[in-house]
Amino acid sequence: MVKKDKYKIAVVGATGAVGRRMVSILEERNFPVACLTALASARSVGRTLSFRGQDIAVGELKEDSFKGIDIALFSAGASVSRQYAPIAVKSGCVAIDNSSAWRMKKEVPLVVPEVNPSSLGKIWGIIANPNCSTIQMVVALKPIHDKYRIRRVVVSTYQSVSGSGYKAIEELEQQSRDILEGKPVQKNVYPHQIAFNCLPHIDEFLENGYTKEEMKMVNETRKILGDEMIEISPTTVRVPVFYSHSEAINVETELPIKANEVKDLLSSSLGISVVDNPNKNEYPQAIKACGKKDVVVGRIREDLTRANAINFWVVSDNLLKGAAYNAVQIAELLLKQVSP
């Protein structure tokens, strides 16, 4: 990719929950877009998206879709990314991929711009956007790791249905209505009722008893923080919330750690808002983090069981910082590093 005043951008999966937010964030951030190509599967062709006051027709994703494109933002699932990201790169495009397809490949940078910008490197092909639940956790962990050196993390998540896309949002809405009206519940996206229930099950189960979502938190966190010694013990849970994921995080560090120090540290860290006034009932909440770009941290308190451990609560909009915004941030980082 060469330096230009404006770039040709494609969004793959443009009609999805994340894709639509990618388009609106490109507009909101005033990203130097020369022209925007919206791509999706054949059944979305004919739909339009609004970008800078114009209607953009959605085109069908094909092998020749990437001709002349500078940057392609992918959010159409792992199998689409596995097939089309290499094609995009072959066409001379940088592919920023929001799926799990490429994240753990050694040669693919896995980037959270506030955390590991230098991992982006200088030669760009596929760049991976981490998993939503990982991103918000590592943004909070990074300053703590730098100062206290993290040894072990025990994390339990409270993840919203929007992480499973529009159909899951509709499913929570419809199931909630049906239950309130005393009607039987229909299940399509999730194997069990999600309305007024909690499911300790996100993505597929693996042989070791963990889900893929849980192992993403383990493996991606280590890769992003560049430290294979960090131990992570996750439980990922879907809760009946529409937008934003919450996480209860317990961190053990090498050095003794104090709640007040961590509050100050995180308050002055990039991409983090601290909301932590228990006396005023102020703490991070899913409904309040929704639409915000920062990761919100609160309930910061020392672990009473040891001098080198701390508990906190992290909330973030999973479609923004957890997906679309982080991908656009990667694109912005890329532009800064393009040689003239």
Examine the residue annotation and report whether 132 is marked as an active-site residue of this protein: yes
Q: Is 221 in the site for its own copies (CB under 8 A)?
A: no
Q: Is 311 in the site for its own copies (CB under 8 A)?
A: yes
Among 74, 124, 210, 325, which residue interacts with its own copies (rule: CB under 8 A)? 210
Q: How far is the CB of 210 from its own copies (least distance, A)?
A: 6
Q: How far is the CB of 6 from its own copies (least distance, A)?
A: 39
Characterize 98-109 residue by residue with b for buried, 16 or more Cβ atoms within 10 angstroms of its Cβ, and e for exposed: bbbbbbeeeebb
Q: Is 232 in the site for its own copies (CB under 8 A)?
A: yes
Among 3, 105, 177, 183, which residue interacts with its own copies (rule: CB under 8 A)? 177
Q: How far is the CB of 301 from its own copies (least distance, A)?
A: 3
Q: How far is the CB of 321 from its own copies (least distance, A)?
A: 17
Q: What is the end-to-end Cα distance of the chain in Å, rounded?
A: 10
Cα distances (angstroms) measured from residue 206 to each of 135, 156, 189, 216, 223? 22, 18, 19, 12, 20
Examine the residue annotation and report whether 145 is marked as an active-site residue of this protein: no
* Residue 329 CA from chain centroid, whole number: 12
List the catalytic residue out of 93, 198, 201, 245: 245
Q: Is 184 in the site for its own copies (CB under 8 A)?
A: no
**Residue 81 or 246 having the CB closest to its own copies:** 246
Q: Is 150 in the site for its own copies (CB under 8 A)?
A: no
Q: Is 198 in the site for its own copies (CB under 8 A)?
A: yes
Q: Is 119 in the site for its own copies (CB under 8 A)?
A: no
Among 74, 148, 158, 325, which residue interacts with its own copies (rule: CB under 8 A)? 158
Stretch that binds its own copies, among 28-36, 38-46, 125-133, 195-203 (CB under 8 A): 195-203
Among 212, 258, 292, 301, which residue interacts with its own copies (rule: CB under 8 A)? 301
Nearest to 291 by CA among 246, 321, 247: 321
Among 186, 306, 307, 332, which residue interacts with its own copies (rule: CB under 8 A)? 306
Q: Looking only at residues 243 through 282 of this chain, which bind its own copies when binding is defined by CB under 8 A?
A: 246, 248, 250, 259, 278-279, 281
Q: How far is the CB of 260 from its own copies (least distance, A)?
A: 10
List the catalytic residue out of 93, 132, 145, 290: 132
Instruction: Name the site residues for its own copies (rule: CB under 8 A).
Output: 152, 154, 156, 158, 172-173, 176-177, 180, 191-193, 196-201, 205, 208-210, 218, 231-233, 235, 237, 239-242, 246, 248, 250, 259, 278-279, 281, 283-287, 298-306, 309, 311, 313
Residues annotated as catalytic (active site), given as ranges: 132, 245
